[in-house]
Homo-oligomer: A and B are copies of this chain.
Amino acid sequence: MLQIERRQMIIQYLEDHEIATVEELSKLLNVAPMTIRRDLQYLEDNGIATRTFGGAVLKSKLIAEIPYENKSLSKIDEKKRIAEYAASLVQNGQVIILDAGTTNMEIAKLLIKKQNLVIVTTDLKIAVYISSTTDFNVLCTGGNVQNSTGSCLGSNAVDFLKGINADICFIGSSSIDVEHGITTPSLQKSDIKKQMIKCSECKILVADSSKFGKKSFIKVCDLNQFEKIVTDSSLNEHTNVEIKNKNINLILV
């Protein structure tokens, strides 16, 4: 197993269990405890985990942004299932807004099988992917490109979106909380998502279950703004009930 792979699994384990001991990780991954310590040191240096005596916990609920490569490896199966459901909501000929991120990339991979869509996105990789594989009308918002993710930010992107009337938007988020709604680490990202929601008829939130119960800095909107919230079935029971109590259409795939 490669080093990066092992570190990825530690992140995955932490996402699932919130906490892990050096010993259990050492046994699980069949490496010396010292190796696990060095891995945890790396994760701490990169702001992903916080070391404790005997193990580590995920960095506080106010999560920072994890680099793209790490993200794309984690929860990939869940994302594919979420994407499958999301794509089933799309009719041929519709105008679709896709938010940036790996979950929306998974949706994009399925949408190319549809006919005659208009795709609007801030994610350059999604724009390149769809435009190179279909004859859809692909619109890219433009703006400042965020180096870590390849997505457009800034007033140009927001202004571009203001001119759009879409049938459906798919919004991704890494911080979803029943009480505080969805939040982002930057004002710019929040502005983009707000505008995407504003100019779409139907709003769908797509995010794997690890994103729930987390808060970031800038609020985008409350959960009741969405027609549907699509996530995977590992969502913890408490959150599940809380959302359903609010009469929100929660889809577990």
A131-153 interface with B by 8 A CB criterion: 131-147, 150, 152
Q: How far is the CB of A164 from chain B (nearest CB, A)?
A: 11
Given the known interface contacts A4-B19, A145-B127, the answer about A132 and B65 at a Cβ–Cβ threshold of 8 Å is yes
Contact indicator B132/A140 (Cβ below 8 Å):
no
Copies of this protein, total: 2
A51-74 contact mask (Cβ, 8 Å, vs B): 1 or 0: 011110111111101101100110
Q: Which of B68, B72, B132 contacts A18 (CB 8 A)?
A: B72
Q: Which of B5, B61, B129, B142 contacts A157 (CB 8 A)?
A: B142
Task: Indicate the member of A65, A137, A145 with the most B CB atoms within 10 Å.
Answer: A145
Given the known interface contacts A127-B124, A128-B128, A129-B61, the answer about A147 and B138 at a Cβ–Cβ threshold of 8 Å is yes
Given the known interface contacts A127-B124, A145-B138, the answer about A132 and B55 at a Cβ–Cβ threshold of 8 Å is no
Q: How far is the CB of A1 from chain B (nearest CB, A)?
A: 9
Using a Cβ–Cβ cut-off of 8 Å, how many residues does chain A contribute to the interface with B?
Answer: 53
Which B-chain residue is minimally distant from A154 (CB atoms)?
B139
Contact indicator A52/B124 (Cβ below 8 Å):
no
Interface residue SS majority, chain A: mixed
Complex Cα distance, B132 from A131, in Å, reads 20
Residue numbers in B under 8 Å from A21 (CB-CB): 2
Contact indicator B138/A140 (Cβ below 8 Å):
no
Which B-chain residue is minimally distant from A121 (CB atoms)?
B145
Q: How far is the CB of A43 from chain B (nearest CB, A)?
A: 14
Contact indicator A131/B147 (Cβ below 8 Å):
yes
Complex Cα distance, B4 from A57, in Å, reads 9
Residue numbers in B under 8 Å from A141 (CB-CB): 142
| A–B complex contacts, Cβ < 8 Å, 22 sampled | A2-B19, A2-B53, A3-B52, A3-B54, A4-B19, A4-B57, A5-B19, A18-B72, A50-B69, A58-B72, A65-B129, A65-B132, A66-B132, A124-B127, A124-B128, A124-B140, A127-B145, A131-B145, A138-B145, A138-B147, A139-B143, A140-B145
In the A-B complex, the 7 residue pairs with the closest CB atoms: A142-B142, A138-B145, A131-B145, A62-B129, A131-B147, A4-B52, A62-B128
